[in-house]
Amino acid sequence: MRANSIDDEIRLTVDAAVELANVVHGEPLPDLEPLEPLERLRAVLVDFEFLRARTAADAELGAFADRMVSIGRLISSLPDSDLADAVERINAQLEAAAIAPSLSAHDGFALHIHWTGPSTPFAHQVAVDLLMALAQTLCDHGTDRFGRCAADDCDRVFHDTTKNRSRRFCADPRCASRTHTAAHRARRGTDPDGT
């Protein structure tokens, strides 16, 4: 999922933040093999190329999980928040974070900004990255790009990056499929068992 521009980097980081919030505050996407909560967080972080996640100790992941509780609560509230409330909540989290920007080029990535120093603990480094990407997204798009899954039995949050803001479902493809199947059956007058 390598980013080609700063806009891509912000989008991917916000997508990671939303998936992490869904893991912490909602039902995570089904896996081929069930994972423990910390390993589920690690899997999302690795998928979104947070490189330190591969080797982070369980204690570091635990500290990150603790940080994600408040960040996840913030993200889960974005679809229902007005901009002023969202800004106030992100500003409160940013104010509590020690941010020390620096430039870095590592592991084949182009020169980019790190919001924390190289010796910053893992949990804090990732939390600040997520918060800064969320802050930039609010500056660029307000809260309009955050939504809640339209499936009846799902309340996962999503980040809508479509041009026309048409996304309706979370990343679980079953949500869209169930909803479209139910609508099709309703139009045809059939019940769930096909009769």
Tens-place pLDDT, residues 146-182:
999 988 889 899 999 988 888 988 888 888 777 766 6
Residue 193 lies in a domain: no
The token pair that represents 82 in the structure block: 């007005």
Give the range of the structural domain holding residue 43, as residue numbers without chain letter: 6-167
Query: What average pLDDT does range 106-116 have in this prediction?
Result: 81
Residue 88 lies in a domain: yes
pLDDT band of 131, cuts 50, 70, 90: very high
Long-range (24+ apart) CB contacts under 8 A made by 62-65 are 62/38, 63/121, 63/122, 63/123, 64/122, 64/123, 64/126, 64/127, 65/24, 65/37, 65/38, 65/41
pLDDT tens-place string over residues 84-101: 999 999 999 999 887 888
Q: Is the dihedral of CA 44, 45, 51, 54 positive or negative?
A: negative
The residue with greater pLDDT, 181 or 7, is 7
User: CATH number, domain at 71?
Assistant: 1.10.3300.10
Residue 176 lies in a domain: no
Phi/psi zone of residue 154: left (φ > 0), alpha (ψ -120 to 50 degrees), beta? beta
At 108 the pLDDT is: 77
At 184 the pLDDT is: 61
Cα separation, 39 vs 37, whole angstroms: 5
At 37 the pLDDT is: 82
Residue 179 lies in a domain: no
At 113 the pLDDT is: 83
Residue 172 lies in a domain: no
65 in Cβ contact with 38 (< 8 Å): yes
pLDDT tens-place string over residues 22-74: 998 765 555 544 568 888 999 999 999 998 899 999 999 999 999 999 999 99
Residue 1 lies in a domain: no
Number of domains in the chain: 1
Residue 183 lies in a domain: no
Residue 180 lies in a domain: no
pLDDT at 186 over 50: yes
